[in-house]
Amino acid sequence: QGTFVSRVQLEDGAVRVEREVDGGLETLRLRLPAVLTTDLRLNEPRYATLPNIMKAKKKPLEVIPAAELGVSGGSPRLKVLHVQEPPARAGGEKVENVATLVEKLRHSGCI
């Protein structure tokens, strides 16, 4: 994997990336497949304008079946066993001064 990549070059079966580290620039050669995260300097973002958004809504969307791409559409490999909400937070309490706060924290076992 390559993180905070600011320059990418594809080579034969590999990718050469450049990233900024504390001491300067570091160049890495990674075998493919590789996971890369990029730095803001890699590309300038293009922001969609309202006319282009409206044009995109009218364009047809091509749906390609997974089998046509060579991806198996079998059963999912992950199974959700249980989902639950986190416990509700207890209400807060105001104290008169720091000494009272420290005493309450000691009594509750926090410090």
Indicate whether 2 belongs to any domain.
Answer: yes
Using pLDDT thresholds of 50, 70 and 90, give the confidence band for residue 71: confident
Which H/E stretch holds residue 100? helix 98-108
Indicate whether 75 belongs to any domain.
Answer: no
CB 34 within 8 A of CB 49: no
Average pLDDT score over residue span 14-21: 91
Q: What is the mean pLDDT of the chain?
A: 88
Indicate whether 47 belongs to any domain.
Answer: no
What pLDDT is attached to residue 76?
Answer: 75
| Tokens encoding 40 | 């803001």
Indicate whether 5 belongs to any domain.
Answer: yes
Closest Cα partner for 27 from 38, 19, 15?
A: 19
Number of domains present in the structure of the chain:
1
Residue 3 lies in domain:
1-42
What pLDDT is attached to residue 57?
Answer: 94
Distance CA(45)–CA(26), nearest Å, equals 24
pTM above 0.85, yes or no: no
Indicate whether 65 belongs to any domain.
Answer: no
In the chain, % of residues over pLDDT 70: 99
What pLDDT is attached to residue 14?
Answer: 93
pLDDT (tens digit per residue) in 23-64: 889 999 999 889 999 887 777 778 999 999 999 999 999 998
Instruction: Evaluate if residue 72 carries a pLDDT over 80.
Output: no
